[in-house]
Amino acid sequence: MSGTGLLGDFEQLVLLAILQQRADGYAILIRREIEEATDRPVSRGALYRTLDRLAAKGFVRSTLEEPSAARGGNPRKRFSVTPTGIEALQRSRSVVGQLSRGLDDVLGEAR
């Protein structure tokens, strides 16, 4: 399934955070990445629901790793962004870029 339309704010943050993790796209690390960048706490429930939604749209895939004793015998899920997800990110970035054109004097230079 592939999604159409723009990504929501939080969906963008989640996808970018997964990409930042490279091979270690684990939920705990994704959440910390977003919290560091936004300097605000992130609800775990909201994160997991967003990951589910992104997976349903085909923007994210996940693999279950082996259970471990350190996690109470529970497995760990590793997330990665699909090519469709990358396309969606690029689309959102492009739209933001278009709408931001000519607004440097108001918004300041992009960092």
Site residues for other proteins per CB under 8 A = 26-28, 43-46, 48-49, 62, 64, 67-77
Query: 63 forms bridges with which residues in the sheet?
Result: 78
Backbone angles phi, psi at 81, to 5 degrees: -90, 130
The distance of Cα 28 from the centroid of its chain, to the nearest Å, equals 13
Nearer to other proteins, 64 or 96 (CB): 64
Q: Which is nearer to other proteins, 47 or 89 (CB)?
A: 47
Given the complex with other proteins, which of 57 and 89 has the nearer CB atom? 57
- Give rounded-to-5 percent helix, strand, coil for the chain: 55, 10, 30
**Minimum distance from residue 62 beta carbon to other proteins (Å):** 7
CB of 60 to other proteins, least distance (A): 12
- For 82, the 3-state DSSP assignment is coil
Q: How far is the CB of 70 from other proteins (least distance, A)?
A: 7
